[in-house]
Amino acid sequence: MDWRPKGYELSAKGLVCALCDSTTDEHKILMAAVNGSIELFAKKNAWNAFLWLIMNTLKADGKPVYSPHELGSLKEALPIVWV
């Protein structure tokens, strides 16, 4: 359909790159989705992989830096269609 923007799919690795490194092509794609220029898709297990990485690597005093509520809010705010 002509009214829909082009769609792209991020892998789990691509999602991590998009969210954690602003110098990557994946981050540029994420920013294009923020602007509405493209539609971005990712599998639900890509989000689960990102969650695992964040919860197990970003810790302060042995506890995760981000709460489940904060991570849920991040997921909802992302311009990604989870499939």
With CA atoms as reference, report the closest residue to 42 among 11, 69, 13: 11
d(CA 22, CA 3): 29
Segment 13-36, tens digit of pLDDT:
999 999 999 999 999 999 999 999
Q: What is the pTM of this model?
A: 0.86
Alpha helices by DSSP H, listed for 35-67, are 44-57
What per-residue confidence (pLDDT) applies to 78? 96
